Amino acid sequence: MGPPRDAPRARAPCNGRTRLRAPTVPGSAMGEPSEPHGPRVRRRSRAPLGLPGRALRRDLSQLVCAVAGLLLGLLTPLVDAGPQVASDRVVSMLFTIGFGVISLASIIYSMLFLVVQFSASTFTPRLGLFRDEPIVWRAFAFTVGVFVFCITSALAVGARPEVSAAVPCAAMILTLVALALMRTLQMRAFASIQLGHVLSAIVDRAHHVFDALYERPYGGGAPPGPGPRAPTATAPAITVHWTGAAAVLQRIEVTALVRAAADHGGSVAFRVAPGVTLTRGAAIAEVTAGGAAEAALRTALGRALVTGVERTFDQDPELPLRLLADIALRALSPAVNDPATAVEALDRVEDLLARLVGRELDVGGFRDDAGRLRVTVPVPDWERYVRTAVDDVGYAAAGSAMVLRRLRDLLLRLARYAPASRRAVLEERLRWVERAGGGAFPLVWTPPPDG
């Protein structure tokens, strides 16, 4: 998604940046074959600007490192310059280094699985930040390359009596680089189980998404709704339903869909937004186009949907607040009973809400080159953000004076510099917090600070 534009092109965020989206290249089919009210939906698509997706990049990196190790292992023993070393000793060293590095990598990755599981169970099972770190698959890919180099070099030396010292030197250098990557990987894993690092990582992702989505300051007036709808056309609107298995809508390739709608003289009004779980029969969107253009636009709609098994940060600005609220709720559960963690989560919640309160949130409309509204996507409004970030935590914190005081301070500060039309949502919750805190903790509940 992205802010509505009067400019010729629609824009949409991806990985924290606003980029133009190229047409999607279809991947494996996810839904069933096209039905009267259901397109063939693709599970995967390529990333914008023709860049391969994360899974494809991961696989390619392992293949590239393995091929590089093979070529280097075949060419290095051919070097004759420099001092010579007995080949039998070099072969023994190469086999030892190769199998030792791959064994060390296997042990480290096995331990990391436990770290990831511990981190998920400590904070929230929906947190996959460490798993998506590029260092995780880059370190493994480089280790595979070192293993292939060592084995290939050992076999390439063969029965030669001597070999250049460049072979063992290259093996040692590559091993040191692999160990450095493993150490970096371990440090990232250790950081992923620290509360402060996790909260900061969520907030950083949120800042990228918010800055890409909400570029315009709030203009005041009534709180925006779910976004403008596409203009009424002469052709009737056809509701498109989901026909595949249950899946999470992760991303909508907006630019390609706007282009298709303009080419076919139609429009698409989505009923769902990224982050929603699609179930069989659920209404996805309303397509307005006449004649054969209707089928073509439904096909383009199916190709524009990118689904998966979990929510992602790409086009889901509500996800960071949901994760922070989940961490606070887990900390307030009777099994954990850690209100200080909930307070730290609310610190980050205030930072995100303060970033949103002064920005225009009604960014769900996308126009073609002629300025005609072609695609609309429902987006969260200010009340939705506040409800996601505050309501559940407030009810769960009814027995904690510490968390209620922090929640009161959060609402007070936001209400003081929020636009007038956005204060009512905050003041309503502030009154509830005052009643809950004063009624449950009359001896320790003090008046709010001035200023």
In a structure prediction context, what are the per-residue pLDDT tens digits for the chain, which is 451 residues long?
A: 544 444 334 444 333 333 333 333 333 333 333 333 344 433 333 333 233 455 667 778 888 999 999 999 999 888 888 888 888 889 999 999 999 999 988 888 887 777 766 766 678 777 777 777 788 888 999 999 999 999 999 999 877 888 889 999 999 999 999 999 999 988 888 877 788 888 998 999 999 999 999 999 988 554 444 444 444 445 688 899 999 899 999 999 999 999 999 998 899 999 999 999 999 999 999 999 877 788 889 889 999 999 998 898 888 999 999 999 999 999 999 988 899 999 999 999 999 999 999 999 999 999 998 889 999 999 999 999 999 999 999 999 988 999 999 999 999 999 998 999 999 999 999 999 999 998 888 888 887 766 4
Element (H, E) at 98: helix 87-122
- Percent helix, strand, coil in the chain (nearest 5)? 55, 10, 35
Per-residue model confidence (pLDDT) at position 44: 38
Bridge partner list, 285: 240, 270
Q: Which two tokens stand for residue 240?
A: 């498109």
Per-residue model confidence (pLDDT) at position 112: 76
Q: What stretches of 7-161 adopt beta strand conformation (E)?
A: 12-14, 17-19, 84-86
Per-residue model confidence (pLDDT) at position 351: 96
- Residue 1 CA to residue 376 CA, distance in Å, equals 9
Q: Which of 392, 385, 383 is nearest to 325 (CA)?
A: 392
| 314 within 8 A of 13, measured Cβ to Cβ | yes
- Residue 23 CA to residue 40 CA, distance in Å, equals 16
- Residue 303 CA to residue 44 CA, distance in Å, equals 9
- Residue 145 CA to residue 443 CA, distance in Å, equals 66
Per-residue model confidence (pLDDT) at position 247: 94
Element (H, E) at 288: strand 283-288
Q: Which of 257, 226, 233, 259 is nearest to 41 (CA)?
A: 257
DSSP calls for 257-279: HHHHHHHTT-EEEES--TTPEE-
Q: Which two tokens stand for residue 448?
A: 């709010």
Per-residue model confidence (pLDDT) at position 317: 94
Per-residue model confidence (pLDDT) at position 377: 94
- Residue 107 CA to residue 109 CA, distance in Å, equals 6
DSSP calls for 162-205: EEETHHHHHHHHHHHHHHHHHHHHHHHHHHHTSHHHHHHHHHHH
- Residue 436 CA to residue 405 CA, distance in Å, equals 10
Element (H, E) at 248: strand 247-252
Q: Which of 276, 226, 232, 274 is nearest to 253 (CA)?
A: 274
Q: Which two tokens stand for residue 132?
A: 């998506």
Under DSSP, the state recorded for 217 is B
- Residue 188 CA to residue 183 CA, distance in Å, equals 9
Q: Are strands 267-270 and 373-376 parallel, antiparallel or unpaired?
A: parallel
| 126 within 8 A of 248, measured Cβ to Cβ | no
Under DSSP, the state recorded for 318 is T
The label of the residue with tokens 């180099």 reads 149
Under DSSP, the state recorded for 77 is G
- Residue 389 CA to residue 320 CA, distance in Å, equals 9
Per-residue model confidence (pLDDT) at position 113: 73
What length does the chain have? 451
Residues 6+ apart with CB under 8 A from 38: 31, 32, 240, 241, 242, 243
- Residue 295 CA to residue 266 CA, distance in Å, equals 11
Per-residue model confidence (pLDDT) at position 54: 59
Element (H, E) at 252: strand 247-252
Per-residue model confidence (pLDDT) at position 33: 33
- Residue 78 CA to residue 289 CA, distance in Å, equals 66
Q: Is 350 strand, coil or helix? A: helix
DSSP calls for 373-435: EEEE-----HHHHHIIIIIHHHHHGGG-HHHHHHHHHHHHHHHHHS-GGGHHHHHHHHHHHHH
At residue 232, what are phi and psi to the nearest 5 degrees? Answer: -70, 135
